A and B are shown apart, each in its own frame.
Chain A
């Protein structure tokens, strides 16, 4: 093996080396500064490399060294609360090494080598273990980090295992066959971690967002796409999910997006508490930030780094959700590298393998039975940023062919500050049927009916609006005017949810059900009153109805809601009487 070559050509993030043996996706060190790169094409004696750092000043003739290893992440205690770049360099460490701006040629391991973690074995000498088996635990944050046998180690018997304080490189367990196990394992990012089998996704990933949980739910282990033009709410939705979804672990990757958005997460999350555990949200979060002005090749790698970390926590038996903002930037990074390789461009310049890469990525989601017998899940929520907001472009279209939930953001809604700006007519969830049983059991046997009623009202409204556009709303029969009014209530009270209001930002299923039921109750009263001959303006002007939106902002809403519903009952009785 010739593991060293020399540079022949440098053109931006893609460089060519000659005189070196390499395999696809080997990690190489480029130039005198040893910039990190990855082999992406081999052609005769030429090795073509994408470089994860800026290549300015690098000259032909400089050395290239092949490490012979694929691009991998380090997995072990120390991942949680970290913020990494696209190739798992801890950004906090980079600041101490190179200051406030990211320069190049600095390597920093993903996991701290000096920090000691308290390891508690859960197996003992003589126990039989296999790939994925849990050997012990470390209290990493409020989350227990389970130390596992790496997936590629063969089954064997524990020879020795000891509790105590260890760094991630120290051996904590030795197997009979001589295998030494440390708390850190490495895994190549482009390969999915093995599982025993995939399970049906029949438990919802609850997000506290009414339009998502209520109308278009995603299952734990499911896949969802949020496409939308700029400023329509992709990032806010993903951040809401990162904050409030009932996952145990959140991996959030800012892929080619804004620096300040990562800062926002970093400042906000430590202050917010998980409604379930009562612990700061940061304790369950891993952040990957490869912002738009950081090198594109590392941007391409960032989503793989993220999903590998997500799979690792899934292997421990956790429900993990991965937010990828934005998969379009990832696709564009692919396109940019591909065009520098002078590959034959496919649709809109994207490489022909775009669809394959997208589906490989989303395929790594799922609710699974792990090698160790525990259940875990990775749910993947990907933002898509279509040029000009046009959903017919290749990234959106290819993504929609794969994912099961589509949350369509709509600029018309965001412009009028209807948030979340998710279009209720275009969006869908293919998990609805699978989740019905859960809602039935855990929320109310009435839930599925109320949901169907709400969707029907919204659809009817859309039809009626077409007529209104031609004749004005006063020309509609009174009954239909009530429908329009009720639909408005569903939109303004139920669907609209203010992410920035301390109470409204999160809404549990009980409250969602109560709100929707209250609106339905009004509609029943209204139709009945109309049928009984009460005048429409009176029905619409019911005072208690005007109080209903306030429920959103009240934390202890039950007494208030009861009061409103009681006065609504009284008002309608009075109307019928009078």
Chain B
């Protein structure tokens, strides 16, 4: 392979190389430093005069004397069964002291788009044991459901609780966790690792760690390495893979940094105009394929700068993912765990995974009714602050009380409390029974007569069972 010594400019993460033979767009590049060490990069722009290379590590040590080798192929990830239980760097190199990965295949990390016609609609209900998710924002296998959080909020604990408790009822199929850390602190990473070790999940996990002090540009490839691994495990080894990507905000910052180095016209708030497309090339790598056993379910975590959901990072993510779980600082302050605010949260695939065939026939309507009632009660809190409780009508007072109870009993649960879907739905009914029956306009009569504690009580002559509390 020919080595060029024709670097004419180095700027940020970019290296400009002159007078080369024809070089392919997107090719992997090795940069050889004077001490013999090698850094990796990728061709961003190629012409017969100039080749622009984006380096995936710090450009420290690269000079005009460095050598450039074009490998003639795009970036590939060696994958194999032996990856389970391993800890790799954000660039895909083992960092757990274990042996090199024995590759069974080398896969392109960009990953091709799944042909929409080949996709199979996700529909299997995943029970996470968390009421605000199972009852109100149901997760299904093959979904991409991000956690929108803020600095200092317990998103990691929630992600871990989901990873620990998530199950498809009645299924014993092989599963795996792929965990990709981008720019998180050592401490946060340890928190995850300790939990994986404690629960034995590590054996079934592949971990990629790009920590806060690792090169920022490496973050561009970390999620792609993770998803390439996930696709291999899911679509070639038939496993059900849960992918946790954290923190996507750091990924986007790296993207912005490269855009700035290339002197591109920036889009909203300085992020590149193509960030939607770029994020889609990550998030869309989830789902199910007809006739293929495995699946990829994605849990990206991102911290919203300034808790602002309209910031481009959560905004563009929300436009791509299939819903979002929004962590609320206000609930956290009230001491409620998990502080998931159901109002701005959403699971778009919920309707595919609930109902008589999956959970229970009343699920959709009970959840809609809880939403409506909680939203109304929550609004009234603002009013109470101005006019006092006395100025409220009897009806309003009931909704206000509903909102309080809902937070205290439905939203709040223990970090190890694993509620069944039946418990969650029964708890919803119990709370709804605080309201007059005719206020339950979202639910049709037959369901009310079947599930409402009042009617159940009448019929069976016994009070409805209260769901256990944590």
Interface residues of A (CB under 8 A from B): 8-12, 16, 54-62, 83, 91-92, 94-95, 99-103, 229-231, 254, 256, 258-260, 262-264, 266-267, 289, 291-294, 296, 329, 332, 335-336, 339, 345, 348-349, 385, 387-390, 411, 414-418, 468-475, 492-493, 498, 500, 537, 543, 545-546, 549-550, 553
How far is A387 from B289 in the complex, measured between Cα atoms in Å?
A: 31
Q: Are A474 and B110 in contact (CB under 8 A)?
A: no
Q: Lowest 9 A-B CB distances belong to which pairs?
A: A472-B391, A546-B438, A416-B375, A292-B280, A388-B310, A56-B26, A9-B47, A101-B112, A230-B318
Q: Jot down 5 A-B pairs with beta carbons below 8 A, ordered by A.
A: A101-B114, A294-B113, A296-B274, A388-B315, A415-B375
For A472, give its contact among B114, B267, B387 (CB under 8 Å).
B387
In the complex, chain B residues 250-288 whose Cβ is within 8 Å of any chain A Cβ: 264-268, 273-274, 276-277, 280-281, 284-285, 287
- What residues of B have a CB within 8 angstroms of the CB of A416 in the complex? 343, 371-372, 375-376
Of A8, A60, A471, A493, most buried by chain B (CB within 10 Å of CB) is: A60
Interface residues of B (CB under 8 A from A): 22-27, 44-48, 73-74, 110-122, 142, 235, 264-268, 273-274, 276-277, 280-281, 284-285, 287, 289-290, 292, 310-312, 315-316, 318-320, 322-324, 343-344, 346, 348-349, 351-352, 364, 368, 371-372, 375-376, 382-383, 386-388, 391-394, 396, 437-438, 441-442, 444-445
Q: Are A59 and B387 in contact (CB under 8 A)?
A: no
- What residues of A have a CB within 8 angstroms of the CB of B23 in the complex? 59-60
- What residues of B have a CB within 8 angstroms of the CB of A102 in the complex? 112-115
Inter-chain pairs besides A254-B116, A390-B310, 5 sampled, C-beta below 8 Å: A60-B48, A259-B287, A292-B276, A468-B383, A498-B368
Q: Are A267 and B121 in contact (CB under 8 A)?
A: yes
Q: Closest residue to A388 on the B side, CB-wise?
A: B310
For A492, give its contact among B74, B322, B441 (CB under 8 Å).
B441
- What residues of A have a CB within 8 angstroms of the CB of B393 in the complex? 472-474
Known: A95-B118, A417-B368. A474 touches B441 (CB 8 A): no
For A470, give its contact among B112, B312, B319, B387 (CB under 8 Å).
B387
Known: A263-B119, A339-B273, A385-B319. A56 touches B24 (CB 8 A): yes
Q: Are B273 and A349 in contact (CB under 8 A)?
A: yes
Q: Are A94 and B349 in contact (CB under 8 A)?
A: no
- What residues of A have a CB within 8 angstroms of the CB of B27 in the complex? 56-57
Q: Are B122 and A260 in contact (CB under 8 A)?
A: yes
How far is A70 from B192 in the complex, measured between Cα atoms in Å?
A: 55
Q: Are B444 and A61 in contact (CB under 8 A)?
A: no
For A95, give its contact among B44, B115, B287 (CB under 8 Å).
B115
Q: Are A387 and B312 in contact (CB under 8 A)?
A: yes
- What residues of B have a CB within 8 angstroms of the CB of A91 in the complex? 115-117
Q: Are A349 and B267 in contact (CB under 8 A)?
A: yes
How far is A292 from B23 in the complex, measured between Cα atoms in Å?
A: 28
A298 to chain B: closest CB distance in Å?
11
How far is A267 from B118 in the complex, measured between Cα atoms in Å?
A: 11
- What residues of A have a CB within 8 angstroms of the CB of B74 in the complex? 56-57
Q: Are B45 and A9 in contact (CB under 8 A)?
A: yes
Known: A9-B46, A91-B117. A57 touches B267 (CB 8 A): no
Q: Are B121 and A417 in contact (CB under 8 A)?
A: no
Q: Closest residue to A98 on the B side, CB-wise?
A: B115
How far is A10 from B73 in the complex, measured between Cα atoms in Å?
A: 15
A297 to chain B: closest CB distance in Å?
11
Q: Are A101 and B113 in contact (CB under 8 A)?
A: yes
- What residues of B have a CB within 8 angstroms of the CB of A16 in the complex? 47
- What residues of B have a CB within 8 angstroms of the CB of A264 in the complex? 121, 352
- What residues of B have a CB within 8 angstroms of the CB of A294 in the complex? 113
B280 to chain A: closest CB distance in Å?
3
Q: Are B343 and A415 in contact (CB under 8 A)?
A: yes
Q: Are B120 and A263 in contact (CB under 8 A)?
A: yes
Q: Are B387 and A57 in contact (CB under 8 A)?
A: no
- What residues of A have a CB within 8 angstroms of the CB of B290 in the complex? 100
- What residues of A have a CB within 8 angstroms of the CB of B324 in the complex? 231
- What residues of A have a CB within 8 angstroms of the CB of B346 in the complex? 231, 414
Known: A58-B24, A294-B113, A473-B396. A349 touches B289 (CB 8 A): no
Q: Are A57 and B24 in contact (CB under 8 A)?
A: yes
Q: Are A339 and B117 in contact (CB under 8 A)?
A: no
- What residues of B have a CB within 8 angstroms of the CB of A545 in the complex? 438
How far is A76 from B121 in the complex, measured between Cα atoms in Å?
A: 30
Q: Closest residue to A553 on the B side, CB-wise?
A: B444
- What residues of A have a CB within 8 angstroms of the CB of B285 in the complex? 293
- What residues of B have a CB within 8 angstroms of the CB of A229 in the complex? 315, 318
How far is A416 from B442 in the complex, measured between Cα atoms in Å?
A: 12
How far is A261 from B112 in the complex, measured between Cα atoms in Å?
A: 18
Q: Closest residue to B46 on the A side, CB-wise?
A: A10
Known: A9-B45, A259-B287. A335 touches B441 (CB 8 A): no
Q: Are B48 and A8 in contact (CB under 8 A)?
A: yes
Known: A92-B117, A492-B441. A57 touches B25 (CB 8 A): yes
Q: Are B112 and A262 in contact (CB under 8 A)?
A: no
- What residues of A have a CB within 8 angstroms of the CB of B316 in the complex? 387
B125 to chain A: closest CB distance in Å?
16
Q: Closest residue to A287 on the B side, CB-wise?
A: B116
How far is A468 from B265 in the complex, measured between Cα atoms in Å?
A: 48
Q: Are A100 and B26 in contact (CB under 8 A)?
A: no
- What residues of A have a CB within 8 angstroms of the CB of B45 in the complex? 9-12
Q: Are B46 and A262 in contact (CB under 8 A)?
A: no
B100 to chain A: closest CB distance in Å?
26
Of B45, B267, B268, B290, most buried by chain A (CB within 10 Å of CB) is: B267
Of B142, B276, B343, B442, most buried by chain A (CB within 10 Å of CB) is: B276
Q: Are B115 and A56 in contact (CB under 8 A)?
A: no
How far is A292 from B318 in the complex, measured between Cα atoms in Å?
A: 13
How far is A470 from B388 in the complex, measured between Cα atoms in Å?
A: 11
Q: Closest residue to A268 on the B side, CB-wise?
A: B121
Q: Are A550 and B445 in contact (CB under 8 A)?
A: yes
- What residues of B have a CB within 8 angstroms of the CB of A293 in the complex? 113, 277, 280-281, 284-285
How far is A263 from B286 in the complex, measured between Cα atoms in Å?
A: 13
- What residues of B have a CB within 8 angstroms of the CB of A469 in the complex? 382-383, 386
Of A54, A57, A61, A546, most buried by chain B (CB within 10 Å of CB) is: A57
Q: Closest residue to B52 on the A side, CB-wise?
A: A11
B69 to chain A: closest CB distance in Å?
16
- What residues of A have a CB within 8 angstroms of the CB of B444 in the complex? 550, 553
Q: Are A500 and B351 in contact (CB under 8 A)?
A: yes
- What residues of B have a CB within 8 angstroms of the CB of A468 in the complex? 383
For B348, give its contact among A231, A259, A492, A553 (CB under 8 Å).
A231
How far is A349 from B259 in the complex, measured between Cα atoms in Å?
A: 14
Q: Are A289 and B116 in contact (CB under 8 A)?
A: yes
Known: A10-B46, A94-B115, A387-B315. A296 touches B277 (CB 8 A): yes
Q: Are A59 and B289 in contact (CB under 8 A)?
A: no
- What residues of A have a CB within 8 angstroms of the CB of B387 in the complex? 470-472, 475
A50 to chain B: closest CB distance in Å?
14
Q: Closest residue to B320 on the A side, CB-wise?
A: A292
Q: Closest residue to A485 on the B side, CB-wise?
A: B395
Q: Closest residue to A263 on the B side, CB-wise?
A: B119
Q: Closest residue to B289 on the A side, CB-wise?
A: A100
A242 to chain B: closest CB distance in Å?
16
Q: Are A258 and B320 in contact (CB under 8 A)?
A: yes
How far is A94 from B376 in the complex, measured between Cα atoms in Å?
A: 50
Q: Closest residue to B364 on the A side, CB-wise?
A: A500
For B46, give its contact among A60, A335, A348, A473 (CB under 8 Å).
A60
Q: Are B24 and A59 in contact (CB under 8 A)?
A: yes
- What residues of A have a CB within 8 angstroms of the CB of B113 in the complex? 101-102, 259, 291, 293-294
Q: Are A55 and B292 in contact (CB under 8 A)?
A: no
B277 to chain A: closest CB distance in Å?
6
- What residues of B have a CB within 8 angstroms of the CB of A83 in the complex? 116-117
Q: Are B310 and A291 in contact (CB under 8 A)?
A: no
A238 to chain B: closest CB distance in Å?
14
- What residues of A have a CB within 8 angstroms of the CB of B352 in the complex? 264
Q: Are B265 and A339 in contact (CB under 8 A)?
A: yes
For B391, give its contact among A12, A292, A475 (CB under 8 Å).
A475
For A260, give its contact among B119, B267, B383, B391 (CB under 8 Å).
B119
For B277, give its contact among A55, A336, A492 (CB under 8 Å).
A336
